[in-house]
Amino acid sequence: MTTQPFYFWEDGTLVLNVLGKPSSKQDAIGKPKGHQLRISVTAAPVAGRATDHMVRFLAGEFGVTTNDIEVVFGRMNVNKQLRIQSPKRLPAVIAQQALV
């Protein structure tokens, strides 16, 4: 049985399935859990602010602007899908998966 990856590529766009964890002690990219990548943010889950904070955090991690990240679904939910246009850098958890 193959597990569904937590990300895939559509041309130069990285599509990332995320399991968000708001109100964390620090912003961090965690480990994959099933077909999602855990991402913790310090922001509270109020009116989509945690998702907005996550987009700003991930923009820095991937070396893109916030406008390069689209929240496909899940802005008000812990289960999200993000589209990252032409990432300049890949966090270690994705770079390691790419080598497998």
Q: Number of C-alpha atoms within 13 angstroms, CB side, residue 82?
A: 30
Q: Cα angle at 56 between 39 and 78, to 5 degrees? A: 35
| Structure confidence at residue 59 (pLDDT) | 98
Question: Is residue 98 scored above 80 in pLDDT?
Answer: no
Model confidence pLDDT, tens digit, residues 21-78: 999 999 999 999 999 999 999 999 999 999 999 999 999 999 999 999 999 999 999 9
Range of 29's domain? 7-95
In whole angstroms, give the CA distance from residue 85 to residue 21. 23
| Structure confidence at residue 5 (pLDDT) | 87
| Structure confidence at residue 11 (pLDDT) | 94
For residue 45, is it within any domain? yes
Domains held by the chain: number = 1
Q: What is the amino acid identity at position 63?
A: G
Q: Report the CATH number that the domain containing residue 20 is assigned in CATH.
A: 3.30.1200.10
Nearest to 17 by CA among 46, 40, 38, 3: 38
Residues 38/30, Cβ–Cβ less than 8 Å = yes
